[in-house]
Amino acid sequence: MATEGLAGALATVLGGKGLLVQSCDSEPAGKPLLPVRLRKNVCYVVLAVFLNEQDEVLMIQEAKRECRGTWYLPAGRMEPGETIVEAMQREVKEEAGLLCEPVTLLSVEERGASWIRFVFLARPTGGVLKTSKNADSESLQAGWYPRVSLPTPLRAHDVVHLVELGAKFCQQATHPLILPQELPCNMVCQRLVATFTTVQSVWVLVGTVGTPHLPITACGFTPMEQRGGIKVAILRLLQECLTLHSLAVETKGLLGLQHLGRDHVDGICLNVLVTVAFRNPGIQDEPPKIRGENYFWWKVLEEDLQKQLLHRLQESSVVPLTR
């Protein structure tokens, strides 16, 4: 990929779109990675936040024995063969009775590569709100409740933060509208937009094995990688080409993600914005030195791409990636 190709790839990722995953630049040591499969080695969860014009939140009352009678946001596990959006729509229909469409991803939460939750802001498009007369094994009922006075008892208090995240986004969008892109991937991995900035310049880390590309790191399932979360895979790749003890690395958040779900292809690629900086910056006009020949720093010269990158960095205009 020449410079023009790199610019096109970066523009695609900054625009919330996806790129095919051809191979990985960094993988965990040990056994070769097996393809990920729902219900076997990964669990994906979807959750939807709905807010209406009266500042009310759509809540559902749980029917499961362990949490029966408590209240939560519409949520549940993805099933094999579903896209992420299809799973969210199914859960909302089953638990609240409503048809819906996603507005944007609000956040992505992880407990390592084996458990990832996708939180959407969504809007209803039809259906009939579920009442207690239609109680079943999915939920007892659903209803709209004031954001400042959610029904109790709550199944878990994490919904309070997610509702506020949705309300803030409705008041002022903190990132572009971002939805999952339907592209195949066999593993849980991350495509890095790893940046180094000075007052006047922006560099992006590029992998050189094959055609130059935005580097991809595979997430492992070892106990260490599970404990450390998916950021371990980012640090592993950077450790392979940089001297990290003198550097500060920060994961800013998601620019987008891609997943297919059909034909037993359950992998996910997260497009992640990362910053690399010197711990003691002083006057640094060049990025940190690269070790080896598998990576280089690409200086972004195209003015529009520079502006986009700096805006996303300075405003943290990304989907939060939390643990």
Among 66, 47, 147, 173, smallest CA distance to 107 is for 47
Number of H helices, E strands in the chain: 6, 14
- Distance, CA of 213 to CA of 237 (rounded, Å): 14
Closest CA to 184 of 113, 114, 265: 265
Residue 3 banded pLDDT, cuts 50, 70, 90: low
Q: What is the pLDDT of residues 259-269, one digit of tens each?
A: 999 888 899 99
pLDDT at 1 over 70: no
The C-alpha angle with vertex 315 and arms to 197 and 191, in degrees rounded to 5, equals 65
pLDDT value at residue 162: 98
More confident residue, 80 or 34: 80
List Cα–Cα distances, 210 to 98, 205, 218, 241, 300, in angstroms: 48, 15, 17, 17, 20
Report the candidate in 82, 123, 76, 77 with the shortest Cα–Cα distance to residue 99: 123
d(CA 210, CA 21): 13
In three-state secondary structure terms, 21 is coil
41-50, 134-143, 189-198, 272-281 — which is least confidently predicted? Answer: 272-281
Which residue ranges are tagged as binding site for Mg(2+)? 58
Looking at residue 282, its pLDDT comes to 74
Question: How far apart are the C-alpha atoms of 219 and 224, rounded to whole Å?
Answer: 11
> What is the mean pLDDT of the segment spanning 164-188?
97
pLDDT band at 123 (very low <50, low <70, confident <90, very high): very high
CB 219 within 8 A of CB 188: yes
Stated pTM of the model: 0.96
- Domains assigned to the chain: 1-36+185-278+288-313 (3.90.79), 43-171 (3.90.79.10)
| Residue 75 parent element (H or E) | strand 75-77
For 30-49, the pLDDT digits (tens) are: 878 888 999 999 999 999 99
> How does the average pLDDT of the chain come out, rounded?
95
Rounded to whole angstroms, the Cα distance separating 298 from 294 reads: 13
C-alpha closest to that of 287 among 229, 247, 250: 247
Report the percentage of the chain scoring pLDDT > 90. Answer: 91
In single-letter form, the type of residue at position 106 comes to: L
The answer to whether the beta carbons of residues 228 and 251 sit under 8 Å apart is no
Closest by alpha carbon to 187, among 318, 30, 32? Answer: 32
Better-scored residue on pLDDT, 29 or 192: 192
Q: Calculate the dihedral angle through the C-alpha atoms of 23, 26, 28, 34, rounding to the nearest 10 degrees.
A: -10
pLDDT tens readout for residues 275-298? 999 998 776 789 999 999 999 999
Rounded Cα distance, 294 and 285, in Å: 22
Q: How far apart are the C-alpha atoms of 152 and 70, rounded to whole Å? A: 7
| Residue range 5-27, pLDDT digits in tens | 999 999 999 999 999 998 999 99
What average pLDDT does range 39-64 have in this prediction? Answer: 97
Per-residue model confidence as pLDDT tens digits over 204-253: 999 999 999 999 999 999 888 889 999 999 999 999 999 999 999 999 99
The confidence score (pLDDT) of residue 45 equals: 98
pLDDT of 107 > 80? The answer is yes
Note the pLDDT of residue 92.
Answer: 98
What is the residue-wise DSSP string for 259-278? E--STT---EEEEEEEEEEE
Q: Binding site: what residues are annotated?
A: 58
